[in-house]
Chains A and B, each alone.
Chain A
Amino acid sequence: MNPSSLQIAEIWVYLSGSPLFALILTLTAYQIGSYLYQKTDKYPLANPVAIAVIVVAVVLNLVDMPYQKYFEGAQFVHFLLGTATVSLAVPIYRGIAVLKTRLIPLMIALLCGGIVSIVSAVGVATFMGADSAIIGAFYPKSVTAPIAMGVAERLGVSPTLTAVFAVVTGILGAVLGSSILNLLGMKAWWQRGFAMGVAAHGIGTSRAFAVHPEAGTYASLAMGLHGILGALLIPLLKSYL
């Protein structure tokens, strides 16, 4: 090894040992994702989280860094998930304040949608012979990812698989949602938005906001309420199904 590459190796050993590398990588990857999302006019398939995950995975593979070591550094970002979860109370509060009058039909629809999302995912996965780690992660996957991951931890299923399934669910819902709702002949924006929020949480909500502000408001409320309801009901369903 010549002196300059030795120096680079030394710098690399120093950098990769501190959380800085993982933090820079995580945030830069997410920024690339956000940039592409904006550039494609917020096309759901160009989801910033999905892009960031791919970029980070490719870089870790290139520099030959084990995932555990990356996570040690990135756990500072990960920690904020809990704090972000608590702060979801604000949009939910705003939603409830605006939508008091329709709360009862919304709650009934949410309950039906929430149960269908769990039973159908777990049912199909079990029927098609997926293993128990994968099936376990299907219980919380329809809830917004930060809450889903907290619930997953308590259920003893993988928060990672749960987060990935939640993001894919959101993307699928955002891509397919409008066509499905058109096919059903759904006209009212509030109903369309709420259905998107129940099925596709955060990603569906940002799609709904892009289509119509009223749909977005209801989607955001659906996502928040589904988060709370999911945290309460999923442990119950998991022990009975």
Chain B
Amino acid sequence: MIPGLVQILLWQGVGELISHFFLPVLPGPVLGLIFLLIFLMIKGQVNQSLALVSDAFSQHLGVLFVPAAVGVILFLPQLKAHALAVISALLISVVLTIVTTALVLRFLAKKGADES
């Protein structure tokens, strides 16, 4: 597990450095993700240690955003004041996103099937 963690932390470090000095618009960890993805595609396989760490993180991803999300208690008055707007925006957005993605995908799949 340790070699995998070291590898991830190193890519994160590279990402943070590049983000800080060259690409401030992209967060360091996202750059780290892109670099690691490119690295994996070139290498053509995921080693066991890396897979272990990654699986552990994806299984318990949720716990990592609890500390920040609890900060919502500081925003409660603001959210209450705009409750209707917030709920409508979230609801309408998620419904439209599912509908759009699904319909575009079905349309393209049908088109692909007709042509071949």
A29-B26 in contact (CB<8A): no
- Chain B, residue nearest A94 (CB): B46
Nearest residue (CB) in B for A160 is B71
Contacts of B91 in A (CB 8 A): 172
Q: Given the complex of chains A and B, what is the CA–CA distance between A129 and B12 in angstroms?
A: 39
Residues of B in contact with A, size category: 35 or more
A60 at the interface (CB under 8 A from B): yes
* Number of CB contacts from chain A to chain B under 8 A: 313
* Contact (A96, B29) CB under 8 Å given A49-B66, A77-B66: no
Contact of A53 among B9, B70, B82, B99 (CB under 8 A): B70
Q: How far is the CB of B57 from chain A (nearest CB, A)?
A: 4
Whole-angstrom distance between the Cβ of B106 and the nearest chain A Cβ: 6
B27-85 contacts to A, CB under 8 A, are: 27-30, 32-34, 36-37, 40-41, 46, 50-51, 53-55, 57-58, 60-75, 78-79, 82, 84-85
- In contact, A105 and B90 (Cβ under 8 angstroms): no
Q: Pick the contact of B68 from A128, A142, A160 — CB < 8 Å?
A: A160
Q: Given A109-B101, A138-B89, are A83 and B37 neighbors across the interface (CB < 8 Å)?
A: no
Main secondary structure of the interface of B (DSSP, over half): helix
Of A30, A80, A138, A158, the residue contacting B62 (CB under 8 A) is A30
Q: Say how far B90's CB is from chain A's closest CB, in angstroms.
A: 6
Assess whether A164 is in contact with B69, with CB atoms less than 8 Å apart.
Answer: yes
Known: A89-B37, A117-B93. A184 touches B29 (CB 8 A): no
B93 touches A163 (CB 8 A): no
Q: What residue in chain A is nearest B91 (Cβ atoms)?
A: A172
Assess the A191–B105 pair: CB atoms within 8 A. yes
Docked-complex contact B64 and A78, CB < 8 angstroms: yes
Tell me, in angstroms, the Cα distance from A125 to B54 when the chains sit together: 36
Taken together as a complex, chains A and B put the C-alpha atoms of A165 and B87 apart, in Å, by: 10
With contacts A87-B57, A93-B41, A231-B26 taken as known, whether A128 is within 8 angstroms of B85 at the C-beta atoms is: yes
Measuring CB to CB, which residues of chain A are less than 8 angstroms from any residue of chain B? 22, 26-27, 29-30, 33, 47-49, 52-53, 56-57, 60-61, 67, 70-71, 74-75, 77-78, 80-94, 96, 105-106, 108-110, 112-114, 116-117, 120-122, 124-125, 128-131, 133-134, 138, 141-142, 144-147, 149-151, 153-154, 158-161, 163-165, 167-169, 172-173, 176-177, 180-181, 184, 186, 188, 191-192, 194-196, 198-200, 202, 222, 227-228, 231-232, 235
